Amino acid sequence: MPASDRRSRNRLASVRGMHDLLPGPIALWQHFEAAARDVLDSYGFEEIRTPLLERTELFVRSIGGATDIVEKEMYTFADRDGDSLTLRPEQTASCVRAGIENGFIHLGVHRLWYMGPMFRHERPQRGRFRQFHQLGGEIFGPAGPEADAEIILLTARLWRRLGLFDLRLELNSLGTPDSRRAYRSRLMEYLLDRRADLDEDGRRRVETNPLRVLDSKNPEMRAVIEAAPRLIDSLDSESRDHFDALRAMLDEAGEPWTLNPRLVRGLDYYTKTVFEWTTERLGAQNAVCGGGRYDGLVAEIGGTPTPGVGFSAGIERLVALLVESGTDAAREPPAAWVAAVGTDAVRPAPAVAEALRDLGVSAVLDAGEGGFRAKLRRADRSGAEFAVIVGDAEAAAGEVSIKPLRSDGPQSTVARARLREALTGWLPQAAPGEDSPQADETCSMPPDHA
RNA sequence: GUGGGCGUAGCUCAGUCGGUAGAGCACCGGAUUGUGGCUCCGGAGGUCGCGGGUUCAAUCCCCGUCGCUCACCCCA
């Protein structure tokens, strides 16, 4: 795009809070994604992909009509048929819907994972975007705390795998919906008695979301908050046993955690276990992963009652931590750089590049302007191991010149038919045979000759 | 959604107490009629985020707006 166009007044920019992921930074994402797939695979999870758009009703019923997400953050609009659709703000609800719709959710145990963009209309900030990406996993079927433990230990393993060692696991239990409702009214009563001690924000939220009052960061509220009844102390016995068993499992597995009695989370579907992984390194957006149990969700959406537990992790935030940690995920440079200059030399150049790829050698054909000087400079900067040079002289003789770029070895000129011999030492170990030149087009690994 | 800070070349930034701008890196070319890395020389690239106001004159001051950012809020 010419500079004059990019400068022009009516040029288009991306939507606020929605960003392009460019080739450089994307290397770290791919690093993250590969680690995630690997870990999820080792826990027997299978991938699921669901549409970005769902009927609005799905999220209202699952996340809860009184939550911030549903009340003020969803991208909701009427499509041409008049149906109310919403860009998904999270994916658990979609997974449940898909499980019910395809008739598998209540049959046995299912372990699913997903990864993709989510949408919430919040004010953008560091670590908070309107289109952001989550990695998530769900276990449908088991009601016991082993499944909760599996989810938590899986995420812990992923952090270790990524080299993130300073994340903190916070745990709480919300109990069953009944015990939670009972607690809520007890808490509201307590807070109303002390209305005078609350700050403005607190007074506003007593009625709307009393559990949130406990989460206030205002130091003047500390005394009121600490004296408040705790949800964890008013659990029903079933939830209490579940929570105790989970704690014992995490201890047995050697996974450290801390109790956060004020952890409530912003989605209404959680029951019993809730957890969050937090970091000190990202400022206000400190939650990097969250999740919990949602035993009532499947029934709420109209399926056969089926328990479930899950997690979801914010990829932007985790990648930001990787950047901070100095994680190196630079893309592998190509092995060969094909530099052809001259009208007769350009004609065979694509065929020469193909011959290299047939041998399993990754190759970039320099299709840019300029002479040998320019093309070799690009070859050097690309990081390629060697340049394959085709000039008019080589083209006329059916030859190519091979010039090492990372050593002081001499340049050699060989017949195109003898490329394989000339490249001994640069070929990948499992090079495809001559009789199956296009053995594996999906294999883009550069030759390993470190 | 609320409040504060900041928007100068592709990137990181300097600068103009109001007189229309510079550096480093990156890019392109030359020194080397077909050979990179080091060095030297040169070039291209900015309506100083956008719109309005004040002024003889605004990139600079004022207002608005958009974007980023920090905190609140919320959460991944």
Reported ipTM: 0.86
Secondary structure of residue A333 in the 3-state scheme: coil
CB atoms near residue A355 (< 10 Å): 20
Q: How confident is the model at residue A450 (pLDDT cuts 50, 70, 90)?
A: very low
- Considering all nucleic acid strands, name the nucleotide whose C1' atom is nearest to the C-alpha of residue A127: B76
Q: How confident is the model at residue A11 (pLDDT cuts 50, 70, 90)?
A: low
HEC per residue, A268-320: CCCEEEEEEEECCCCCCCCEEEEEEECCCHHHHCCCCCCCEEEEEEEHHHHHH
Task: Give per-residue pLDDT as tens, A172-185.
Answer: 999 988 888 888 88
Q: How confident is the model at residue A8 (pLDDT cuts 50, 70, 90)?
A: very low
- In whole angstroms, give the CA distance from residue A198 to residue A207: 13
* Closest residue (CA to C1') to nucleotide B76 in the complex: A314
* Closest residue (CA to C1') to nucleotide B2 in the complex: A123
CB atoms near residue A191 (< 10 Å): 23
Structure pTM? 0.88
- In whole angstroms, give the CA distance from residue A312 to residue A307: 17
Task: Give per-residue pLDDT as tens, A206-262.
Answer: 877 788 788 777 777 778 888 888 888 889 999 999 999 999 999 999 999 999 988
More confident residue, A103 or A207: A103
φ, ψ for residue A369, nearest 5 deg? -80, 175
Percent of all residues in chain A with a pLDDT value above 70, rounded to a whole number: 93
Quick one: how far is CA A428 from the chain centroid?
31
Name the amino acid, one letter, at A358: D
- In whole angstroms, give the CA distance from residue A359 to residue A426: 10
Encoding tokens for residue A426?
């640069």
Å between A27 CA and B69 C1'?
25
Mean pLDDT of A396-408: 93
Name the amino acid, one letter, at A230: R
Pairing of strands A386-390, A336-340: parallel
Q: How confident is the model at residue A325 (pLDDT cuts 50, 70, 90)?
A: confident
Positive or negative, the Cα torsion across A80, A20, A28, A310?
negative
Encoding tokens for residue A289?
């992963």
- Residue A15: what pLDDT? 86
- Distant-in-sequence, close-in-space partners of A163: CB < 8 Å, separation ≥ 6: A322, A325, A327
- Residue A285: what pLDDT? 85
- Considering all nucleic acid strands, name the nucleotide whose C1' atom is nearest to the C-alpha of residue A375: B36
Protein-contacted positions of strand B (CB under 7 Å): 1-2, 10, 26-30, 32-37, 45-47, 50-51, 66-76
- In whole angstroms, give the CA distance from residue A362 to residue A442: 12
Å between A3 CA and B13 C1'?
21
User: Using alpha carbons only, what angle is made at residue A258 by residues A256 and A260, rounded to the nearest 5 degrees?
Assistant: 155
Encoding tokens for residue A309?
């537990």
pLDDT at A432 over 80: no
Query: Which stretches does DSSP call E strand in A24-83?
Result: 46-47, 53-55, 75-78
pLDDT at A436 over 70: no
Per DSSP, helices labelled H in A123-199 are 145-162, 177-193
- In whole angstroms, give the CA distance from residue A131 to residue A186: 38
Contact between A244 and A260 (Cβ < 8 Å): no
Name the amino acid, one letter, at A374: A
Å between A9 CA and B54 C1'?
25
Å between A151 CA and B72 C1'?
32
pLDDT at A448 over 60: no
Encoding tokens for residue A275?
């957890």
Calculate the average pLDDT of chain A: 88
In our burial notation (b when 16+ CB lie closer than 10 A, e otherwise), range A7-18 reads eeeeeeeeeebe
CB atoms near residue A286 (< 10 Å): 15
Taking alpha carbons only, the member of A229, A227, A307 closest to residue A272 is A307
pLDDT at A430 over 90: no
- In whole angstroms, give the CA distance from residue A148 to residue A21: 33
